[in-house]
Structure 1
Amino acid sequence: MDPEVIPPAERRDTVRRLLALCHIVNELVDLAESDDTDSTALHQQALLARTVLHETVVDLVAAGRAGHSDAA
């Protein structure tokens, strides 16, 4: 087994937690966009966090698929 490949159960758990974080960040962005106060910095940070989380999930799933012979 390649030590660089995350075991399937651990990968699924990590993906679930990252997706939960993505939903939280999406809500943060929605709140920042709807707020009447000047929240430019908050909004920018929320957008950055959302992007990083999304890329992390995509990379994690791609790495997991690359490590398995049954990948589509």
Structure 2
Amino acid sequence: MEWIDKVELMCSLVLGAVLIVLLLHFTYSVTLDIRQTEWWERCRDALHEWKADTRWFFKRVTGQVGDDE
């Protein structure tokens, strides 16, 4: 193998490695965003449920519960 072939092979290997690293980084970033979104949605749902339970409790304690519930 001539030196130019070795340089071409090394450049191809380095470029391939860089592309693989970028692909893995992009995949990890998207996965992380999805996990954070799911976590945020669970927290938001739990907060809404807690607020609804708290409203019901205080209405019940203060006697404001009507027939509409």
What TM-score do you get using the length of structure 2 for normalisation?
0.45
TM-score (norm 1): 0.44
Q: Which has the higher helix share?
A: 2
Which structure has the larger Rg?
2
